[in-house]
Chains A and B, each alone.
Chain A
Amino acid sequence: MSALLDVRGLSIAFPKATPVRDVSLTVEAGETVALVGESGSGKSLTALALLRLLPERARIASGEVLFGGRDLARLGDRELRDVRGRDIAMVFQEPMTALNPVLSVGDQIAEVVRLHQGLSRGAARARAVELLDLVRIPEPQRRVAEYPHELSGGMRQRVMIAIAVACSPRLLIADEPTTALDVTIQAQVLDLLDALRRDLSMGLLLITHDLGVVAEWADRVAVMYAGRKVEEAPFEVLFATPLHPYTRGLLAASPRLEAGQHCSVGPLNEIRGSIASAAGEKGCAFAPRCPLARAACRIAVPDLVSIAPGRLSACPVTTAAPVSEACHAAPVG
């Protein structure tokens, strides 16, 4: 059986830059895949490209986005619109601005069910109330008539989720759904997403820069750095034996994982330097920040190689000597 979503060799280009290169990714039905990387690594562009929602000057330079046997990157505009919001839905990072300020939340939810399910005005309204209830908004009858500015950030993100799951999509893409929210609200929203994924048996592509989020909710993790996927593994494997030095840095820098994580080099766990150093790098984009970098790393971009089934890494140095140079301590257990 083929995957629900199968992205192959996706590259995204602006007139003067190519911020996403050759990214491949699969999501199975009912599975949660996390796409992790720090700010600017190209996660949002990748997500937007799946539904061709890229900013105006950006385009898909190459690659395929296979979904249900069709390539969304080449699908006709009309057919693509039928997929958007119905088969694949999206939740965005900024709940403060992602909703239309002059339409009531009920209207914004009703809009999508009227469009894809042809419900009447009244039926769509009733469905909007149901959906608000589904995303656990108290007093949905009253809330349905309210406007976004009358709701808190967490509530708005729930409304966004209600819009996204309104037509029971097969795939939900959530681009940093909790980054803008309070820590206590974050867990609630992620719990909600996870429950909905189970109940509606959706695939979930969860984009985040926070590995703490991944630990609790993801089945599989893909790590991106400077527009490329540098490592992929089931989450237990990734946490126990991260291969790519960038992944190790991320794990070490994640405060919530400190207790179970043995790869930290010292108390100062930040990855030194910034992603901007990747610009103009000929070989491995991480070389300027990598503690293990050597001359060979700067010659050619390392290939993403398969190490075990479902396990990929793009660092020849650590792949060749995973044990000696990986974690100092024993694996978690």
Chain B
Amino acid sequence: MRQLPRILTAVRRTALQSVPTIVGIVILNFFLLRLAPGDAADVLAGEAGAATEETLAALKAKFGFDLPVLQQLGTYLWNLAHFSLGISPRYNQPVAELIAERLPNTLSLMGAALGFALLTGIALGAVMASFAGRVPDKVLSVLSLLFYSIPSFWIGLMLIVLFAVKLGWLPSGGAETIGAGFSGGEMLLDRARYLVLPAFSLALFYVAIYARLTRGEMLEVKAQDHVRTARAKGLSPFAVATRHVLRNALIPVTTMAGIHLAGLLGGAVVVETVYSWPGLGRLAYEAVLGRDFHVLLGILLLSSLLVVAINAAIDILQAALDPRIEVR
């Protein structure tokens, strides 16, 4: 790891460079969200049923919705500079707190889904490449096409029908057994049981993508001269496939996985809704319905931070996998 010092400077530089980008994203989102009709006060008043003009005006004044837009933006940015994401009118709770509650659930869902998708996708792709053109390859190709084209909400519903309703093996929704009071290993196991189905539903699409990508890349690498050198050394087909072919094929696959992480956050909205998974995706969905702009802005800000962090991580990972790439 001769590149470690360079990696550190690269991280610092990325962090500095991303500040203006993120401020830009916040401002853009702020105006975009204003395009939707109504605000949180309207929704709250509407839900209350019998709100008078006066109570509505009082609500708006309380959250500052009666001020000019630019002034509202100024206040928001001012708060942001002091590391405050504002308060949610709907939950009557600081946005940062709300997000912090949900973030671990979403991260564990995304992590589990991506991890599963990568492991399974790469393994399937490697098998497909080893049997290219023969029966296992063809069967898996059809299967991956299916995974690719079936929408995740439908897969989610079908999995619930099968594993939760018919077989009763796994819970159909939620993130943990409420009131069970588990701790330690039992708690982890309980959470894992709740995680399996949503993570699987979210992952299938990506399994298909990584399998096809890995297959294609491996076949391409296989035709390269250095693979013949490896065979001439007397290595077994397995050692050639893993150490020499797969190792090279992984470089584009990791790039792809990094690009997908942001998309995974979007896909999480659907899956979290189907499985009533208490994550950020559902919070965002509820925030849209409730016109809870502060919460939405907070989530969007967090997503953009996440994307910046992921891109930096991918750059570093790539440099580690491919010595020809220098950390810039």
Q: Which A residues lie at the B interface, using CB under 8 A?
A: 48, 51, 53, 81-86, 89-90, 92, 94, 97-104, 111-112, 115-116, 145, 147, 149, 160, 163
Contacts and interface: CB of A to CB of B under 8 A. Distances in A.
Interface string B230-266: 1111111000000110011001000000000000000
B133 to A, nearest CB: 10
Given A147-B323, A149-B323, A101 B232 contact: no
Given A98-B226, A102-B321, A103-B244, 16 more contacts: A84-B232, A85-B232, A85-B234, A85-B235, A92-B232, A97-B224, A98-B228, A99-B229, A100-B230, A101-B226, A111-B233, A111-B235, A111-B243, A115-B234, A149-B323, A160-B229
B324 interface: yes
A179 B228 CA distance: 18
A100 B231 CA distance: 12
Contacts of A160: 229
Contacts of B66: none
A147 B324 contact: yes
A98 B248 contact: no
Contacts of B243: 103, 111
Given A53-B228, A98-B225, A115 B235 contact: yes
B234 A102 contact: no
Contact of B233 (A48, A101, A102, A163): A163
Nearest to B225: A97
A97 B226 contact: yes
A255 to B, nearest CB: 29
Nearest to A149: B324
A83 B324 contact: no
Given A97-B225, A102-B322, A83 B248 contact: no
B229 A100 contact: yes
B327 to A, nearest CB: 15
Nearest to B244: A100
A217 B256 CA distance: 51
Contact of A101 (B2, B230, B324): B324
B236 A81 contact: yes
Contacts of B226: 97-101
B225 A94 contact: yes
A89 B232 contact: yes
Nearest to B247: A102
B229 A92 contact: yes
Contacts of B244: 100, 103
Given A102-B247, A147-B324, A51 B229 contact: no
B246 to A, nearest CB: 11
A85 B247 contact: no
Nearest to B321: A102
Interface in B205-241: 224-226, 228-236
A109 to B, nearest CB: 10
A116 B14 CA distance: 46
29 contacts: A48-B228, A51-B232, A53-B228, A81-B236, A83-B234, A84-B234, A85-B232, A85-B233, A85-B234, A89-B232, A94-B225, A97-B225, A98-B225, A98-B228, A100-B226, A100-B229, A100-B247, A102-B251, A102-B321, A102-B322, A102-B323, A102-B324, A103-B243, A111-B233, A115-B233, A115-B234, A149-B324, A160-B229, A163-B233
A94 B224 CA distance: 11
Nearest to B233: A85
Contacts of A89: 232
B322 to A, nearest CB: 6
